[in-house]
Chain A
Amino acid sequence: MSDDRPRPRAFRLDDHRVAVDDARAPLAPMATILTEPEPAPLGDDPALDLAEREVEAAQGAGVAKKPRWSLATVAWVGFGGLVSLAVGLWVDSLIEALFARAQSLGAIAVAFAVLLIVGALGLLIREIVAVARQRRIAELHAALARARAADDREAARALVGRLAALYARRPETARARAEVEEARRAVIDGRDLVDVAERALLKPIDKRVQAEIAAAARRVSMVTAVSPRAILDLLFVAAQVVRLTRRVAELYGGRPGLFGFFALLRSIGAHLAITGGMAVGDSLLQQVVGHGVASRISARLGEGVLNGLLTARVGLSAMAVCRPAPFEVDKPPGVAEVAPFLFRKAKGE
């Protein structure tokens, strides 16, 4: 045995030379885990399963995308700068003109200009924060998947703490957070710890998300079935999808702003595109069969069902992309689970 190892030893706590600091030791410092978002082609980390790699690829295409300077970006920056300058010039001349007409009008115009600047700045900051939050959640997702696959106790401890902190402002998660905190302090392996946190924190949220998806799918299928014009259907479906996506992101803790929302839509689109092939085995068959049966009853009804299915699929993709941890304890829900009413044709929803 080498001699540079510290020797075994013991210290009696009633020894006067021993001071006991009973304060709860802070847990290991938060690990900084840097993850490379993968481009839309799937990553090849052998520790992760296919579904997880798909989700990460989709996140990489949108919410977790690294800002990159492309020619289009350069052009847009140039255009944006010119537009801002033009607006500035116009405001400046407007205020000058107003001052020329009357002192008081000019003062009012200045006040409005200040309001505009403050408001715009606020909006900008909120957008930046929202995008950063979304990216953080996507990174957390990837890091949790890796910590679980590697059964890494220390990383899991830090990450699960971050997961709980995500919901610190929600009083209804108090018990779940306490449970997770207790599990962090106990000696539990990394894999199990991630599972405990997922079960305690995310499962109740999953239920609410599924209810949202079901409600949206139901609304879409019913409205499509009764609406007189195709264009109205389209608008309604689009509005419902937007509303649903925002709601799902909000429930999981990443409230998207405008740009964040566009990134989210890109991710959802990528996820739908990647998993589209899988849907054949999973639910497309049912979709076709369900549609066939339904359309025999009524063409409008069949369209309603199809739109409902579409909404549910988008909702499920949003769920996969926004969730701060991968589905490990339970399988991710399928269309049939969130919207079983779409498949029960006899009742004629």
Chain B
Amino acid sequence: MSLFTDLAFEAGVVARSLADYLSGGALRLGVTGLSRSGKTVFITALVDNLVNGGRLPVLRAAAEGRIARVHLEPQPDDAVPRFPYEEHLAAIAGPERRWPASTRRVSQLRVTIEFERASAWGGARAQSLNLDIVDYPGEWLLDLALIDKSYADWSRETIEAARSKARAPLAGDWNAYLAELDPAASADEAVALKAAERFTAYLRRARDATYALSTLPPGRFLMPGDLEGSPALTFAPLPLDGGEIAAGSLAAMMERRYEAYKTHVARPFFRDHFARLDRQIVLVDLLAALNSGPGALADLETALDGVTHAFRAGRASRLGAIFRPRIDRILFAATKADHLHHADHDRLEAALKLMTSRAIARAEGLGAEIDVAALAAVRATREAEIRHNGEALPAIVGTPEEGERIDGQVFDGVAEAAVFPGRLPDDPAAALAGEGLALAEVDNSWRFVRFRPPMTQRGAPPPHIRLDRTLQFLIGDRLT
């Protein structure tokens, strides 16, 4: 980034923070997570539990009965669509009992919490807290890692990754096409289009649940949003080998488009949604990566590291709150904790802690508070014990999704089942060792099945695991 664009960018951030502050300083909660980590479900459950008075015993203000009313308000940004909370809730708690479809665009919601502050001298003071929450396609998050990367660097890394042992079988088609390409040839739209197509196809394949890879930038290739077919999306990495990029060549065209992507897609996304956060929750779906194997876990680790680099963590200050907000609390949450027995939650947390240790050390060094939790915003299962051949296995009971399979059983999405998903290793490093990918069931000592949302009573928020603890950590101090 040149100095000028840097300055212009910072000025933009400051201007927006100031505008936010003047319009009545809300707490901006960043809900971060790669695709399929459960951002939409988390936001929906959070809002539902607050608005409809769910059971939140660990959230202090709620347990002490100090929350008077919670309601939704029109969000401050008129240009951003509203988060379709009612629609998502109907999908989860309605008769269909399905998880919301993957998010395709940015949306926003403002929740106002009216509460009373218990003062030390007796008496109560009415207060309110505005909570701004943003939902967006998780794929776009990967673009944050691109902001500081040049085209040459990105090309080299991406091509190396595609040729690595784990990914080579997935990228065969793309690698073959790439070998024919000559970066020095004159620019040709047809070639660029074809290259982008094959590159995108490779990324899509790698994201598939069987492989569960995560480090797949640029994000818009997977979820184009309103940019479908635009020239900003018709580029691909090229083997440059450190050579100069000649004007008019294919490489020059690709580089121009890559830079355009950064300027028009990646940077505005960061500026509008990440540069001005107060609190941050990072949702991580470890279970899919655990199903796939250590290769997918390592990949997830890289992706998380790239994303958390973009956080502006640090101790909050009064002046900073006006001009340059900092994230002073970050929670790393392993989502879908209801898919395993609670006895394994500690191990899941340990694994997440190990995988995000670099990001944690960085943020703690800057003075931010960090916590790690196993979370289920909507608890789809209940716990049970299987006694089978004299063995007692801690199990979970729920309705597995259609097509899920375990131990030779294939589920139809209707029958309930008691599932023993296996045990995670005591030492989290054991799960991360190796580089296997898309492992068969026999190669792992665990298998996590996806479940359908639970049956809920009409109007009552669905059960959850540690959603209250999460809220207490993220916003509890603002409700004292």
Query: Which A residues touch B441, using CB under 8 A?
Result: 8
Kindly state the separation between the CA atoms of A192 and B449 in the bound complex, as whole angstroms: 29
Q: Does A195 make an interface contact (CB < 8 A)?
A: yes
Q: Does B391 make an interface contact (CB < 8 A)?
A: yes
Verify B421–A8 contact, CB threshold 8 A: yes
Kindly state the separation between the CA atoms of A18 and B385 in the bound complex, as whole angstroms: 12
Query: Which B residues touch A179, using CB under 8 A?
Result: 57
Contact A189 B466, CB 8 Å, known A9-B407, A183-B57 = yes
Verify B420–A8 contact, CB threshold 8 A: yes
Q: Which of A191-219 contact B (CB under 8 A)?
A: 192, 195-196, 199-200
> What band does the interface of chain A fall in when counting residues whose beta carbon is under 8 Å from B?
20 to 34
With both beta carbons as reference points, the residue of chain B lying nearest to A18 in the complex is identified as B418
Verify A7–B422 contact, CB threshold 8 A: yes
Stretch at the interface among B97-105, B270-278, B295-303, B409-417: B409-417
Kindly state the separation between the CA atoms of A238 and B473 in the bound complex, as whole angstroms: 47
Verify B444–A196 contact, CB threshold 8 A: no
Q: Does A1 make an interface contact (CB < 8 A)?
A: yes
Q: Which of A78-118 contact B (CB under 8 A)?
A: none
Query: Which B residues touch A329, using CB under 8 A?
Result: 60
- In whole Å, how far is A152's beta carbon from the nearest beta carbon of chain B? 10
Query: Which A residues touch B60, using CB under 8 A?
Result: 199, 329
Contact A189 B469, CB 8 Å, known A11-B386, A14-B415 = yes
Verify B57–A196 contact, CB threshold 8 A: yes
Verify A5–B423 contact, CB threshold 8 A: yes
Kindly state the separation between the CA atoms of A199 and B118 in the bound complex, as whole angstroms: 15
- 1/0 per residue, CB under 8 A from B, across A154-192: the answer is 000000000000000000000000010011001111001
Query: Which B residues touch A199, using CB under 8 A?
Result: 60, 63-64
Contact A8 B417, CB 8 Å, known A13-B397, A179-B57, A196-B58 = no
Q: Which of B24-52 contact A (CB under 8 A)?
A: none
Verify A14–B416 contact, CB threshold 8 A: yes
Q: Does A6 make an interface contact (CB < 8 A)?
A: yes
B63, B393, B416, B441 — most chain A CB neighbours (10 Å): B63
Kindly state the separation between the CA atoms of A7 and B406 in the bound complex, as whole angstroms: 10
Kindly state the separation between the CA atoms of A167 and B477 in the bound complex, as whole angstroms: 31
Query: Which B residues touch A18, using CB under 8 A?
Result: 418
Query: Which A residues touch B379, using CB under 8 A?
Result: 187
Contact A11 B418, CB 8 Å, known A6-B393, A182-B55 = yes
Verify A1–B445 contact, CB threshold 8 A: yes
Name the contact of A188 in the complex, choosing from B57, B384, B419 (C-beta under 8 A).
Answer: B57
Query: Which B residues touch A188, using CB under 8 A?
Result: 57-58, 466, 469
Q: Does B207 make an interface contact (CB < 8 A)?
A: no
Verify B345–A192 contact, CB threshold 8 A: no
Verify B420–A9 contact, CB threshold 8 A: yes
Q: Does A12 make an interface contact (CB < 8 A)?
A: yes
Q: Does B378 make an interface contact (CB < 8 A)?
A: no
Contact A10 B345, CB 8 Å, known A1-B445, A179-B57 = no
Query: Which A residues touch B469, using CB under 8 A?
Result: 188-189, 192
Query: Which A residues touch B120, using CB under 8 A?
Result: 337
Verify B57–A7 contact, CB threshold 8 A: no
- In whole Å, how far is A175's beta carbon from the nearest beta carbon of chain B? 12
Query: Which B residues touch A187, using CB under 8 A?
Result: 337, 342, 345, 379, 465-466
- In whole Å, how far is A121's beta carbon from the nearest beta carbon of chain B? 46
Query: Which A residues touch B415, using CB under 8 A?
Result: 12-14
Query: Which A residues touch B430, using CB under 8 A?
Result: 1
Q: Which of A1-30 contact B (CB under 8 A)?
A: 1-2, 5-14, 18, 25
Query: Which A residues touch B418, using CB under 8 A?
Result: 10-11, 13, 18
Kindly state the separation between the CA atoms of A192 and B342 in the bound complex, as whole angstroms: 15
Kindly state the separation between the CA atoms of A127 and B445 in the bound complex, as whole angstroms: 57
Name the contact of B407 in the complex, choosing from A5, A10, A13 (C-beta under 8 A).
Answer: A10
Verify A7–B445 contact, CB threshold 8 A: yes
Kindly state the separation between the CA atoms of A329 and B472 in the bound complex, as whole angstroms: 13
- 1/0 per residue, CB under 8 A from A, across B53-68: the answer is 0010110100110000
Verify A12–B409 contact, CB threshold 8 A: yes
Contact A1 B444, CB 8 Å, known A10-B400, A10-B417, A10-B420 = yes
Name the contact of B422 in the complex, choosing from A8, A186, A195, A200 (C-beta under 8 A).
Answer: A8
Kindly state the separation between the CA atoms of A7 and B445 in the bound complex, as whole angstroms: 6
Q: Does B446 make an interface contact (CB < 8 A)?
A: yes
Query: Which B residues touch A195, using CB under 8 A?
Result: 58
Verify A8–B446 contact, CB threshold 8 A: yes
With both beta carbons as reference points, the residue of chain A lying nearest to B447 in the complex is identified as A8
- In whole Å, how far is A329's beta carbon from the nearest beta carbon of chain B? 8
Verify A8–B445 contact, CB threshold 8 A: yes
- 1/0 per residue, CB under 8 A from A, across B382-416: the answer is 00111010010101010010000011010100011
A10, A13, A18, A199 — most chain B CB neighbours (10 Å): A10
Query: Which A residues touch B400, using CB under 8 A?
Result: 10
With both beta carbons as reference points, the residue of chain A lying nearest to B346 in the complex is identified as A153
Contact A10 B419, CB 8 Å, known A187-B465, A199-B63 = yes
7 contacts across the A-B interface (CB closer than 8 A)? A2-B445, A5-B422, A8-B447, A9-B407, A9-B420, A11-B386, A183-B57
Shortest 9 CB-CB contacts between residues of A and residues of B:
A8-B422, A8-B447, A9-B407, A10-B419, A13-B416, A1-B445, A187-B342, A192-B58, A196-B57
Known: A1-B445, A5-B422, A199-B60. 6 other contacts (CB 8 A): A1-B430, A6-B423, A11-B388, A11-B418, A187-B466, A329-B60
List chain A positions with a Cβ less than 8 A from chain B: 1-2, 5-14, 18, 25, 153, 179, 182-183, 186-189, 192, 195-196, 199-200, 329, 337
